[in-house]
Structure formats: structure tokens, C-alpha cells
């Protein structure tokens, strides 16, 4: 049996990158990218970026929380990341009495740093190409089911082996290039992470949702944390005896500033791209996936915004939830507009026609390339009805109605729990109650259930069995009954029920049939949608492999999958439309110009910042023109997950923090647009200015290695 997969995977790293597109794998920078990086201005070697044998820049880059990047900027474990990455922790530490979202927070020493419950950071210690170990014994004629079974077994065995070799580390083996290539990542997880400083939201989130994904930006999108370790510098749960992590590698901070054409590089953890998406998938995204998300989230966000504006308590409770929902909502709007405007579907169709002609003329049917695209099309068509309703029930109920999460205290979806651990379940519920406002959730539930009735083909059974039979079809009346009579909507009622728990009492709670009905339909829809996933998996895998065989001289990059990558290019302006040219940087002057008393939530400027501006008191952080630069652009290939990533100069020194992309290239996750696509970063000089001049935290400035 021939093993063509290995030779194909070897081709993935035998090329030289020639374009700005690409979230490149670190182990192959020397083979694929070093020459091109040098031509763009990089002064270090690929070994300085990533080395298997010595400390390198890679060791200063961390996974921050569940979906962001951070960087170590001092020998004492000081972390820079985005304000929006630290937002959840800042929110959870805030209260009406200590409103760190509104007022900011600055520790004056280690003792004042605030433990951030649940926050973790992860260091990548080792990276191994394990493709031979995973696919080496897969027959070339294997079916997709057999391919997944064998590679799954190999992956499981290898993870167990690596966990023994790298004791105390987490091991993951994600797939690359559509399941054709595999890397193992060994990580150390540190769970004692503390908040050191954050600017007020008026700086850290200046511009709010209005400016999100837009250029020009003037946002001081940063926050500061610190990782702690035990006496041996190893990971440990929070303890007052822990000490700041002793970093072998940390980033120097350069305040020389950027100019047009300068080399720029980002290292971080891009979350997800779909650059190999076909025209069939684009059709579904534009017709169903994005419109449903935009509609449902938009309606819920209107309710949250109203309640947040009316109460400081609710504003703090729902700040992180609103921001998380809104970010992807606006992303979906921009994605649909850009994909349509830039004719991404047409470009994909041309690529597919070329691929199909090549496959028909140059490959054999048993190789799987000829029917790769038909299988993807077949999957999209067959799975669409179930996927449509599944997305709607997830968006309108499972992610939107918090009562459903609370309902899991009493039932697992099959029936009520026979026995309960009252202490454990109450602890779980209290984590929800901390940021829960029952009147808000009640309003959301009414709106969501109304929208679901209008837009879902198949509805959860509670509509017919309860709403229609018992409430005459009146959704509002049913929701009021539900919230008035369930124990889980109130911490006091739930605690009383759990203390004197019985199956009979739990079965009488109206949240049980509601929860069960939603979960039953969601499970049924998942099963229907997943019945066709093997079609897609094989078609997708063969399509990507075939493209690389068709165009062996092209530099291909794997889709993002939240593994550490490098992207590089230059600081550049761009032209979004005829007659418009955007400069590559913004200044504090723009902050003052954007102040809007009619929109105080998004465009408020603190008085102290105004005073510093009027006095031009920028210290050593001004550029040569005497301006204080706030943000800048570079033509780098980033996506969600890169938030908080360090932007490095030609010597590997920190010059900014990546936090956004630009509106005109929102199609970038599907198709890279080299003329339009830009990374937006907060300039590190603005970060240090806020720490130093605005907050007066000289001790943090002194801790860093600053290059002038």
C-alpha cells in the first residue's frame, strides 16, 4: 500500500514564502520564510524567533485566558495584553463600589495586585512535527472513516507517550491543512495570574462598538497582568506565598517609534480562518449563517444595552457578555459586506473550476481528488436544514437565555437529577448569579422565543405542549409564568430547594420541561447535521491536498487553529476607496476630536488626559513631530486570537499590541486581500504614556527594559 500522504506533507514546508499572506508555523520559518523576512527588513535569524535548543522570542509569547495572546515584558512575569482580552477578568473583579471598568485600576506594588479567579496563561515549551507518527500507517486507499479512526488512535497513543516524556505539561496535537499534517504542542499552564493595571474603559475601549473594526482608531487597548509561580518557578494554584514568575525570556520595549515601510512582525495565537472555504460554503454563510447571527444577536444586544444604560449594576454585570456577543455580530456584518463587495465567491468559483479540470485530467478516481468538490457540495446541501435550525436554537436560546444554564442545576436534559450535591451546585449557580439580572434575562427570553417561532423550521416541543396548549400561544405569558415559578431564577429559592431536595419537587419546576425540550431538539439537530460530516471531511482534506499538488510552487499556509504562528510585513497606509488614502498612524489629537458628549459611553475623554494633551506633556513618548501616536497599521495577516499579540520590530523588540483588523478587509478570514488587509495595533509609546504620565506608575516603567 502506497503512503502518498507523507510525501505530500513534506511539500508543505519545501517552499519559500513570497507574499504577505500567511500565518506561518514557527518550526519552518528557516526553510520557508527567513530569506523573505530579511528582504523585508528583519535583522534577526529564524533561530532567534524559534529555537528547539535555546531560549527564543517564542518563549515570551503566551496564550492569555481562553482565546487571546499575551507577552512577557519583564523578568518578573509582567504581561501585556489587550484591554478587551483582560475585560472579563476586570469585569469579574469589579463592583459598583470598585468599578475598575469605569475608573481603571493600578496596583502600586506586588501586594496590591489582584488575583483573577479562573484566569490562566500557557507557555508553549516544545513543538514537534508528528505527521509521520499520525498518518504513517494509514493506507493510501483508506476511506475517510478509516482515516479518522487510525489517525485518532495514533494521536491518542502519542499524546499518552508525550505526556509521560513531558511530565506536568499539557499535550495537544491539532490538525493542519485539512487533517493532512499534525504538530504536537507541549504547554505549561500557570493559574495564578493577577491584575496589575488597566486604564479606564474610556481609554481602553475608547470608540466602543462604533469604532470596532474601523480605521482610524484611537483606542488604548491594553491591560497589564502578572503571572506567579511557586518557589521553584513552577505552575501552582493561587497562594499568597507564590512569587512573580522568573522569565528566562521577555521582550524589550522599543520607544523609537514606527515609520512607513518599517519591518513589523506579530507572533501569537490566531484563532480560526477558513481560507480553503468553497463557493458552496460561502453561499450558505451569506444566505443563512451570518444573517441569522446578525439578527438574533442584534435583537438581544438592544435589550442588554437598554438595561445596562439604566443601571450601573447591570452595566457591570453584562459588560463582558455584551462585548463578546457584539464583537462577532459586527464581524459577521463586515464579513458579509466584504465577501460580496470583493467578489470572493467568484474568485473561489474560478479556483474550483481550475482545480476540477486539473483533477479530471491528471488524477485517478481512487485518489479522491476528482470528487473532492462534489462531496463538499453534497455535504452543504444535505446538512443545511439541520444546521440552520441548530444555529438558531444555539443563538436564540442556549447562548442567549441564561435561565437555561441555571436549569442545568436540576436536570441533565434526560430528566431531573436523582441526587444532588447542594454545595457544589450552588457554587456553580452563584457564579452565574453574580452577573445575572433576572428582569433582563426575562426580557431576552420573550424576544428570543418569539424570534425562534418565526424563523425555525422545527421548534422545541415546549411550544406545542406548553405555550400553545396551556397559554393559548402567548409567549410573553408563558415566560412570565416560567420566571415567576422556577426556583432557579432566584438564588434564595434555589438554595431552599437544594437544601430540601427531592425528585418530586424538582419535577414540578417549570424550567425542567423547558430545558429538556431545548436540549432534546439540539441533540437531534446535531445528529442530523453530523450524519454528513464524513463527506465534508474527506472532500475538504482531498481538496486542500489536491490544490497543493496542482500548484506545487505556491507558498501555502495552513488555516489558523489557535496554535502559535508568525506573520510579518511592513508598516503601511492603505487606500480603501477611490480618492481616500489613510495614514498609517493616529495621534492623541484624534482622541480629542472624537470626544462626543452625545455618546458618553463610547467617546468620553478623561479630564486628566485632556490636561496632558493641552500641555503636550508627552515626555519621551512623543514622536519627532511632537505628536503622541496612539495606533498604527501594518500589512500583517492576523485574526481573532491574535488580540494582545506583540508587534515586533526588525530587532524583535516590542513596538505595539495588535488588537484589530480593518473593516474593508473583513473578508480576510476567508480570502486574504493584500492591498486592503491591515492589522491595527496600539502603539507601545501610548501604552507607556498612560502607565507613566496618566497613571503615575513609575515602578512599572522601571521594571521594563526600555530601548530608546
9 CB-contact burial (10 Å; exposed 0-12 / middle 13-18 / buried 19+): buried
Q: 324 an active-site residue?
A: no
Residue 658 in grid coordinates:
495588535
DSSP codes joined into one string, 537-571: HHHHHHHHHHHHHH-TTS---PPP-SS-EEEEEE-
Residue with grid cell 495621534, as numbered in its chain: 587
Q: 643 an active-site residue?
A: yes
What are the strands, taking DSSP E only, across 476-601? 565-570, 574-577, 580-582, 585-587
Q: CA-CA distance, 250 to 123, in Å (whole number)?
A: 12
Nearest to 225 by CA among 60, 56, 90, 58: 90
Task: Choose, from 94, 383, 643, 645, the residue flagged as catalytic.
Answer: 643
The SS3 of residue 236 is coil
Q: CA-CA distance, 672 to 674, in Å (whole number)?
A: 6
Question: Please, which residues bridge with residue 117 across strands?
Answer: none
Task: Mark 471-493 as b/e (b = at least 16 C-beta within 10 Å).
Answer: beeebeebbebbbeebbbbebee
Q: CA-CA distance, 38 to 46, in Å (whole number)?
A: 10
Task: Choose, from 84, 218, 532, 540, the residue flagged as catalytic.
Answer: 84
Q: 484 an active-site residue?
A: no
- For the chain, first and last CA: distance in Å? 61
Nearest to 9 by CA among 556, 637, 563, 567: 556
CB 176 within 8 A of CB 129: no
Residue 457 in grid coordinates:
423550521
Task: Choose, from 59, 221, 289, 389, the residue flagged as catalytic.
Answer: 221
Q: CA-CA distance, 679 to 82, in Å (whole number)?
A: 14
Residues noted as catalytic: 84, 221, 643
Amino acid at each position: 500500500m502506497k503512503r502518498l500522504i507523507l510525501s505530500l506533507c513534506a511539500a508543505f514546508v519545501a517552499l519559500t514564502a513570497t507574499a504577505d499572506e500567511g500565518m506561518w508555523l514557527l518550526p519552518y520559518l528557516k526553510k520557508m520564510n527567513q530569506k523573505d523576512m530579511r528582504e523585508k527588513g528583519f535583522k534577526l535569524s529564524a533561530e532567534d524567533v524559534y529555537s528547539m535548543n535555546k531560549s527564543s522570542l517564542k518563549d515570551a509569547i503566551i496564550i492569555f485566558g481562553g482565546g487571546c495572546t499575551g507577552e512577557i515584558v519583564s523578568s518578573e512575569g509582567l504581561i501585556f495584553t489587550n484591554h478587551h482580552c483582560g475585560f472579563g477578568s476586570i469585569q469579574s473583579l469589579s463592583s459598583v463600589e470598585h468599578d475598575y471598568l469605569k475608573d481603571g485600576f493600578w496596583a502600586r506594588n506586588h501586594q496590591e495586585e489582584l488575583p483573577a479567579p479562573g484566569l490562566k496563561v500557557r507557555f508553549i515549551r516544545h513543538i514537534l512535527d508528528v505527521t509521520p507518527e499520525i498518518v504513517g500507517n494509514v493506507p493510501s486507499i483508506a476511506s475517510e472513516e478509516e482515516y479518522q479512526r487510525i489517525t485518532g488512535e495514533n494521536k491518542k497513543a502519542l499524546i499518552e507517550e508525550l505526556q509521560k516524556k513531558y511530565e506536568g505539561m499539557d499535550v495537544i496535537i491539532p490538525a493542519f491543512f485539512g487533517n493532512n499534517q499534525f504538530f504536537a504542542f507541549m504547554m505549561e499552564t500557570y493559574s495564578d495570574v493577577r491584575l496589575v493595571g488597566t486604564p479606564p474603559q474610556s481609554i481602553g475601549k475608547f470608540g466602543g462598538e462604533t469604532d470596532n473594526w474601523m480605521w482610524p482608531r484611537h483606542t488604548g487597548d491594553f491591560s497589564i497582568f502578572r503571572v506567579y509561580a511557586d518557589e521553584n518557578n513552577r505552575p501552582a494554584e493561587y497562594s499568597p506565598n507564590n512569587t512573580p514568575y522568573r522569565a528566562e525570556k521577555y521582550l524589550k520595549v522599543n520607544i523609537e517609534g514606527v515609520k512607513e515601510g518599517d519591518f513589523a512582525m506579530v507572533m501569537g495565537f490566531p484563532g480560526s480562518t477558513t481560507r480553503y472555504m468553497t463557493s458552496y460554503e460561502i453561499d450558505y454563510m451569506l444566505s443563512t449563517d451570518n444573517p441569522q447571527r446578525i439578527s438574533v444577536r442584534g435583537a438581544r444586544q438592544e435589550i442588554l444595552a437598554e438595561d445596562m444604560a439604566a443601571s450601573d449594576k447591570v452595566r457591570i454585570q453584562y459588560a463582558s457578555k455584551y462585548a463578546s456577543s457584539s464583537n462577532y455580530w459586527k464581524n459577521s456584518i463586515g464579513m458579509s459586506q466584504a465577501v460580496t463587495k470583493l467578489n470572493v465567491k467568484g474568485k473561489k468559483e474560478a479556483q474550483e473550476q481550475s482545480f476540477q479540470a486539473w483533477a479530471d485530467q491528471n488524477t485517478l478516481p481512487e485518489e479522491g481528488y476528482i470528487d473532492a468538490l462534489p462531496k463538499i457540495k453534497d455535504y452543504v446541501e444535505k446538512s443545511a436544514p439541520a444546521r440552520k435550525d441548530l444555529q438558531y436554537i444555539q443563538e436564540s436560546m442556549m447562548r442567549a437565555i441564561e435561565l437555561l444554564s441555571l436549569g442545568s442545576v436540576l436536570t441533565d436534559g434526560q430528566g431531573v437529577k436523582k441526587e444532588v450535591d447542594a454545595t457544589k451546585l450552588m457554587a456553580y449557580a452563584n457564579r452565574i448569579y453574580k452577573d445575572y439580572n433576572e428582569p433582563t434575562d426575562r426580557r431576552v427570553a420573550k424576544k428570543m422565543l418569539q424570534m425562534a417561532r418565526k424563523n425555525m423550521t422545527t421548534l422545541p416541543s415546549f411550544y406545542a405542549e406548553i405555550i400553545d396548549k396551556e397559554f393559548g400561544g402567548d409567549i410573553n405569558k408563558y415566560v412570565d409564568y416560567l420566571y415567576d415559578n422556577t426556583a432557579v431564577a432566584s438564588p434564595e429559592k434555589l438554595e431552599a430547594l437544594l437544601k430540601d431536595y427531592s425528585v418530586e419537587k424538582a419535577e414540578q419546576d417549570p424550567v425542567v420541561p423547558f430545558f429538556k425540550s431545548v436540549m432534546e431538539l439540539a441533540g437531534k439537530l446535531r445528529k442530523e447535521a453530523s450524519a454528513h460530516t464524513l463527506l465534508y471531511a474527506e472532500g475538504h482534506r482531498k481538496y486542500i491536498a489536491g490544490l497543493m499538488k496542482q500548484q506545487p510552487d505556491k507558498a501555502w499556509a495552513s488555516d489558523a487553529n489557535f496554535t502559535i504562528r508568525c506573520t510579518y510585513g511592513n508598516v503601511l497606509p492603505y487606500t480603501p476607496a477611490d480618492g481616500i488614502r489613510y495614514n498609517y498612524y493616529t495621534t492623541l489629537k484624534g482622541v480629542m476630536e472624537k470626544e462626543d458628549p452625545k455618546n458618553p459611553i463610547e467617546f468620553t475623554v478623561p479630564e486628566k488626559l485632556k490636561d496632558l494633551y493641552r500641555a503636550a506633556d508627552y515626555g519621551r513618548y512623543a514622536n519627532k513631530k511632537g505628536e503622541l501616536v496612539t495606533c498604527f497599521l501594518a500589512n500583517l495577516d492576523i485574526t481573532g486570537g491574535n488580540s494582545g499579540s506583540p508587534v515586533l520590530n526588525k530587532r524583535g523588540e516590542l513596538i505595539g499590541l495588535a488588537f484589530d483588523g480593518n473593516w474593508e478587509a473583513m473578508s480576510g478570514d476567508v480570502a486574504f486581500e493584500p492591498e486592503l488587509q491591515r492589522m491595527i495595533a496600539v502603539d507601545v509609546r501610548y501604552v507607556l504614556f498612560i502607565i507613566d504620565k496618566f497613571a503615575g506608575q513609575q515602578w512599572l516603567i522601571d521594571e521594563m527594559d526600555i530601548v530608546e
